[in-house]
Amino acid sequence: MVEPADGLPDSITIYEVGARDGLQNEKSVVPTAVKAEFIRRMIDAGLDTIETTSFVPPSWIPQLADATELVDSLGQEARRPTRPVLVPNERGLDNALAAGVKSIAVFGSATETFARKNLNRSIAESLDMFAPVVKRAKDDDLWVRGYVSMCFGDPWEGPVPIEQVVDVCARLMELGCDQLSIGDTIGVGTPGHVARLLDALGDSGIGVDRIGVHFHDTYGQALSNTLVALQHGVRVVDASTGGLGGCPYAKSATGNLATEDLVWMCRGLGIETGVDLDKLVATSVWMADQLGRPSPSRVVRALGTA
C-alpha cells in the first residue's frame, strides 16, 4: 500500500554505485563483460545516474583495472553526463577524458587517518591534489561530484566531530564541485546525527540541493538515516543494486544501502524513483549468481525467491 508521509519529496534521484563502489570490494575480479551487462540491466530497470567505474592505478584497486575497456564496451551509454567515474588525481582525469566521459567524482576524507590510508596524503594534501582535477574538469564542462568519507565515524579515530566534517566539506566544495556526497563509510551514523550534520552543512552555506547521502548498512541504519535526510530536503541518495559494496581501505565497512530496499521504501511512501523494482530484483539475482553468493538486500531475498 502507498501511504505518503508529510514533509517528503515527490521524487528522488538514485545515484547508483553498485558497478563501482560495489564491485571494487569483491575478492575476485569480475570480468568486464559481466560488469557491462550489469550496467545495461540496471539501465533497463530505470536507473539513470550510474557511477560506472574508477580510473585508479591497477595496483590500488585491481578489480577496477579495466576502466577504459569497460567504458569502450558500453560505448555512448558510458559517455552520458549521468555516468560519472571516480578519479583520484590528474592522471586519472587524463585517462577519463581520453575515454570520453562527461562527469567525474573525487573522493576525500573527513579524517586524517583514512586520508592517509586511502590516498597516502593528509586532508590538506588531498585537497591540493583535487584542486587541479576539479578545475580542469570544469574547464572541460564536466560535472563534478565531491565525496567525503568517514563523516560519522572512523575505525581508527572514533566519532568524527561535526565541525571537522563541515570544514572538509566546505573546503572541497570551494574547489568547484557541483555536488557533495556525505558518506557514512562504516555505517555507524544514526538519524539524529544525520539531522545535525545536515543542519550544520546548511549553516555553512552548503544547501541540501547540493547534497547527496551515502549510507552503509553495517548496523541496519541506512534506511532510517535516509528517511531523515529526505525529511531534511535531500533529494539525491546513493545506493547499490543488491547491496553490494564496502571499502577496501576500511575493513569494518560492509555493504551499501541496497537500491531495492530504498525503492521499496520510496514506493510505499509514494516517492517516485523511476525504477522498475521487479527488473532490478532480477538484475540482483542475476548478479548474485555471477558472484556465487546471495544478495544481502532484504527486498531481493523476499522478492527474488517469490
Split into its structural domains, the chain has a count of 1
pLDDT score of 59 = 86
Q: How many Cβ atoms are within 10 Å of 122's Cβ, its own excluded?
A: 13
Q: Is residue 223 part of a domain?
A: yes
Q: Is residue 6 part of a domain?
A: no
Confidence of residue 305 (pLDDT cuts 50, 70, 90): confident
pLDDT at 251 over 60: no
pLDDT at 239 over 80: yes
pLDDT at 247 over 60: no
Average pLDDT over every residue of 227-250? 87
pLDDT score of 121 = 95
pLDDT score of 27 = 84
pLDDT score of 87 = 97
Question: CA–CA separation, 148 vs 48, rounded Å?
Answer: 23
pLDDT at 52 over 60: yes
Q: Is residue 288 part of a domain?
A: yes
Average pLDDT over every residue of 13-19? 97
pLDDT score of 246 = 59
User: Residue 157 sits in which domain range?
Assistant: 13-304
- The one catalytic residue in 169, 177, 247, 266 is 247
Residue 247 annotated in active site: yes
Q: Is residue 7 part of a domain?
A: no
Find the CATH number of the domain harbouring 79.
Answer: 3.20.20.70
Average pLDDT over every residue of 182-202? 97
78-105 pLDDT, tens digit each? 999 999 999 999 999 999 999 999 999 9
pLDDT at 252 over 70: no
Q: Is residue 110 part of a domain?
A: yes
Average pLDDT over every residue of 194-216? 98
pLDDT score of 249 = 43
Interior angle at CA 175, CA 170 and CA 176, nearest 5: 100
Q: How many Cβ atoms are within 10 Å of 112's Cβ, its own excluded?
A: 18
Q: Is residue 202 part of a domain?
A: yes
pLDDT at 165 over 60: yes
**HEC string for the chain:** CCCCCCCCCCECEEEECHHHHHHHHCCCCCCHHHHHHHHHHHHHCCCCEECCEECCCCCCCHHHCCHHHHHHHHHHHHHCCCCCEECCCHHHHHHHHHHCCCEEEEEEECCHHHHHHHHCCCHHHHHHHHHHHHHHHHHCCCEEEEEEECCCEECCCEECCHHHHHHHHHHHHCCCCCEEEEEECCCCCCHHHHHHHHHHHHHCCCCHHHEEEEEECCCCCHHHHHHHHHHCCCCEEEEEHHHCCCCCCCCCCCCECEHHHHHHHHHHHCCECCCCHHHHHHHHHHHHHHHCCCCCCHHHHHHCCC
